[in-house]
A and B are shown apart, each in its own frame.
Chain A
Amino acid sequence: MELKLIGRGVLAGALGGLLAYVFARIFAEPVIGQAIDYESGRDAAQHKLDLAQGLPVAHEGHEIFTRTIQGWVGIGAGLVLFGAAMGALFAVAYAVCLGRTGRVRPRQLALLVAAAGFVLLYLVPFVKYPANPPAIGHEETIRARSELYIVTVFCSVLFGFLAVYVGQKLAARWGSWRATLLAGAGFVVLMAVVMLVLPPLGHLHDNVVEYGRHRTETPLPLRDGTGRIVFPGFNADLLYRFRLYSVGAQLILWTTIGLVFAPLAERLLQPPGTASKTQSPQSPAPVTS
């Protein structure tokens, strides 16, 4: 049974990843292209500035994959594999929840678990450390940024699990409505503490030393020795669109997982016609669900 559930989860996830890929090709890739153009333009401007000021000039490493490969094959493989992995994870969470979440039925449970996956694994971490397009993110802080992101994802998943677990316990005494509100409030408070304690990316040591104390790593205008702007800061609208599409892709992925898995799981757990064939002797008429 577990393997059947997992297989369906992986299938739903891969399909979700494929749909997210189509979405990414249409909406995100043009934005990513513009962000890379900005990065190249800025590097060229910086290069000229350094030359003029007699500073050592940085050389860019050679490219391993062309932009065509990255933008057509790489992102597709990435999204489909990511989707399949998230589908597997979803199925594990679903199997654990099955039978332990009161009266929630298999189909509804699929939607709830998918919503939890979207919120806990992506949306909550995004609130503190949102997705960034190419050109945003300094190479020297990649380690600190990765650690901060993983810690945030871990806390989000842990607190989400605790909220559901405690909520189930509270429901026996307080009823579903108040138990859900209490557990949800607990999650928000714990997560808020974590977000307040962890530093904004701009406050990382390497960033403060090199760029001054700003809140994020988003590039500000490039100025020459006299303070004149020689290259603009990163386009705010472009950043907004990239982040909006990033949320959109994850929403597509998790919605697909929930909607595709729900009927598959229902058929697996309550095959039509066999619902009344359970061992219960006083079994009533076939269950409608």
Chain B
Amino acid sequence: MSNAAAQTHPQAVTVPVVTAQTKSIAILLATALIAFGVYYFIGIDQGAWSVFGKSMVIHEFFHDGRHFLGFPCH
């Protein structure tokens, strides 16, 4: 909370900017990347593309969730 913004006016609350440094940007980017990775493995892998060879284990395990979350499936 080193860069917490000053409260200058009760109505106009200024909220702190937490992403001003390179480290912050790296953490946010890495998190987004991991999150999209999980999104990909639950929703898409072993359908159209397959990262770990042509097995259907992930596809079949998440089968119901894949349909239910709106991903294309068969």
Interface residues of A (CB under 8 A from B): 1-3, 5-6, 24, 28-29, 32, 63-65, 69-71, 73-75, 77-79, 81-82, 84-86, 88-89, 91-92, 95-96, 98-100, 103-106, 109, 122, 125-126, 129-134, 137-139, 142-143, 145-150, 242, 245-246, 249-250, 269, 275-276, 278-280, 282-285, 287-289
B13 close to A132 (CB less than 8 A)? no
A99 close to B44 (CB less than 8 A)? no
Determine the chain B residues whose CB is within 8 A of the CB of A29 once the complex forms: 64
Q: How many A-B residue pairs have CB under 8 A?
A: 199
Question: Can you show 22 pairs from A to B with CB atoms below 8 A apart?
Answer: A64-B60, A74-B65, A75-B65, A82-B43, A89-B31, A89-B36, A96-B19, A96-B28, A98-B18, A99-B18, A106-B15, A109-B15, A134-B67, A142-B47, A143-B48, A146-B44, A146-B47, A242-B67, A280-B6, A283-B8, A284-B9, A288-B10
B52 part of interface (Cβ distance < 8 Å): no
Residue among B5, B14, B31 facing the most chain A CB atoms (10 A cut-off): B31
**A276 and B65 contact, Cβ closer than 8 Å, known pairs A134-B73, A137-B72:** no
Determine the chain A residues whose CB is within 8 A of the CB of B24 once the complex forms: 1-2, 95
**A81 and B28 contact, Cβ closer than 8 Å, known pairs A32-B67, A125-B70, A137-B72:** no
Determine the distance from Cα of A3 to Cα of B26 in the docked complex, in whole angstroms.
11
B15 close to A88 (CB less than 8 A)? no
Determine the distance from Cα of A32 to Cα of B73 in the docked complex, in whole angstroms.
13
Determine the distance from Cα of A199 to Cα of B66 in the docked complex, in whole angstroms.
22
Name the interface residues of B35-74: CB closer than 8 Å to any CB of A. 35-36, 38-39, 42-44, 47-49, 56-57, 60-74
| Tally of B interface residues using CB under 8 Å | 50
Give B39's nearest chain A residue, CB to CB. A85
